[in-house]
Amino acid sequence: EVQLLESGGGLVQPGGSLRLSCAASGFTFSSYAVTWVRQAPGKGLEWVSGISTVGVGTYYADSVKGRFTISRDNSKNTLFLQMNSLRAEDSAVYYCAKDYFESSPYPFYFDNWGRGTLVTVSS
């Protein structure tokens, strides 16, 4: 069974940093592109960042470019999101999700999602 388990969320002050992790199991992690999608309370989904299978390709939404860094450790089946210079508008549940297609060059579709981790940016 595919499982994705996010962690690392919490309360942080504006301008602060957090590092999110997503532990994957039940599939060959290194064969799939993965992504982060966030959802502010009561709001819609927003794509944040994606990464290719071996981490060579990294992709970001304009809203987080230059502040967030996505990475992965295929030896530990773990996806990361380093979030710096956090703003109130970054407050959301952050989901990690797995690409539908194996070895896809880019994560277009997401067939498995974690339960999310809540990030709150507030003073």
Partner 1 sequence: QSALTQPPSASGSPGQSVTISCTGTSSDVGNYNYVSWYQQHPGKAPKLMIYEVYKRPSGVPDRFSGSKSGNTASLTVSGLQAEDEADYYCSSYAGSNTLVFGGGTKLTVL
Closest contact distance (angstroms) between CB of 88 and partner 1 is 19
Question: Do the Cβ atoms of 16 and 86 come closer than 8 Å?
Answer: yes
Nearer to partner 1 (CB atom), residue 2 or residue 17: 2
Q: What residues form DSSP beta bridges with 22?
A: 6, 79
Closest contact distance (angstroms) between CB of 96 and partner 1 is 10
> What are phi and psi for residue 98, nearest 5 degrees?
-100, 140
Closest contact distance (angstroms) between CB of 13 and partner 1 is 27
Nearer to partner 1 (CB atom), residue 56 or residue 75: 56
Closest contact distance (angstroms) between CB of 113 and partner 1 is 4
Structure tokens at 51: 């990464």
Nearer to partner 1 (CB atom), residue 29 or residue 60: 60
Q: What are the distances in angstroms from CA 92 to CA 6, 54, 55, 88, 119?
A: 13, 27, 25, 9, 5
Binding footprint of partner 1 on the chain (CB under 8 A): 35, 37, 44-47, 50, 57, 59-63, 95, 97, 100, 106-111, 113-116
Nearer to partner 1 (CB atom), residue 12 or residue 64: 64
Question: Do the Cβ atoms of 12 and 18 come closer than 8 Å?
Answer: yes
